[in-house]
Each structure stands twice: as C-alpha cells, then as structure tokens.
Amino acid sequence: MPRATTKAELLAAADDQFGKLWKLIDAMPEAVQTAAFLFEDRDRNLRDVLVHLYEWHQLLLRWIAANQKGEGRPFLPAPYNWKTYPDMNVGFWEKHQATPYADAKAWLLQSHAEALQAIQPFSDEELFVKKHFSWTGTSSLGSYCISATASHYDWAIKKIKRHIKACQGTTH
C-alpha cells in the first residue's frame, strides 16, 4: 500500500487497515484470541497488541490536543525519546497486565474512532507539509498520524498472522 499523501488517503488507509485487523481477529477462534504467543518477548498475547495500539492512539490524541492548545508537548512523553521509546512500550505492557482482553478490544475500537476524529479537522496542507506546525519538528503531522494508525495496524496484522500460524502448527 502506498503511503498516504492526502487526508482522504490517510483516513482510508487507517480505516482499511483497521478493518483488516478486526476481520482477522473476528475470524480467530476464541482459544486462539486468548492464547499466549509462542514467539514474543514483549507482547505475549493479543490483548498486549491491542493495548499497545490503544496507547499509541493516546499518545497521538494527547499530543495533538496539547499542541493545539499551545502547550508545546513532544509526541513522546518524558523521559522518552526516539532512541528510548522501546522502554516506553515495555511500560505500556507492564501497565496493562491486569487489563481484561474485552476491555482492550473496546478501548481500541473507541480510540481508533477518536484518532480518525482528531485527524478530520486538518487540511491536506496541515497534515502533509513538513514543518507546517512547529510542534511536528522536521516531519509532518500526517506522518505521525500514519504511524499511530495504518502503519501500526499493519505491524499488528503481521504479528497476529504469525500467532495464528504458530497456533496452527501446534494442532498438527
């Protein structure tokens, strides 16, 4: 899939990838949805993947809201940066070890809708012209939105397909 360069493409890609993700999850037997991953070090089950996506939506939503209010907040919360964000992801994982799978699903459905709503008011120029907003640094707002939606959904789809394949391998 080519990388989005317009708001319409961004919203369509996010919705399309999210639809593929959900179709994949819905097609999984419940035992596979709740089974532990046989291959992972951080995300150990489907719930972990879903809360990871949810937390990245929250990063995007808080970042956009704060900066539109003039608060000048970086995308990654302190003390994290682009070299240390894997530690932040571990923190997300730790935070959600008691989160029920059903809650993770509901939260992600809601946060996906909120992310698309947050993108909606912006023009193509605001989304895709690099440095249009001072708070996006040398990048564009759209690149952050793509990363937190369509690209992240693609990551999740690949991980889930790997899980499904591993589960099929244990039944033969």
What b-and-e string marks burial along 86-121, b requiring 16 or more CB atoms within 10 Å of the CB?
eebeeebbeebeeeebeebbebbeebbeebbebbee
pLDDT of residue 172: 44
Q: Is the pTM of this model over 0.75?
A: yes
pLDDT of residue 1: 60
Q: What is the pLDDT of residues 25-69, one digit of tens each?
A: 999 999 999 999 988 778 999 999 999 999 999 999 999 999 999
Please report, to the nearest 10 degrees, the dihedral formed by the alpha carbons of residues 170, 100, 158, 115 taken in order. Answer: 170
What domains lie within the chain, and their CATH numbers? 21-120+134-169 (1.20.120.450)
Answer whether the bond into residue 77 is a cis peptide, omega within 30°: no
Q: What is the pLDDT of residues 111-144, one digit of tens each?
A: 999 999 999 999 999 999 999 999 999 999 999 9
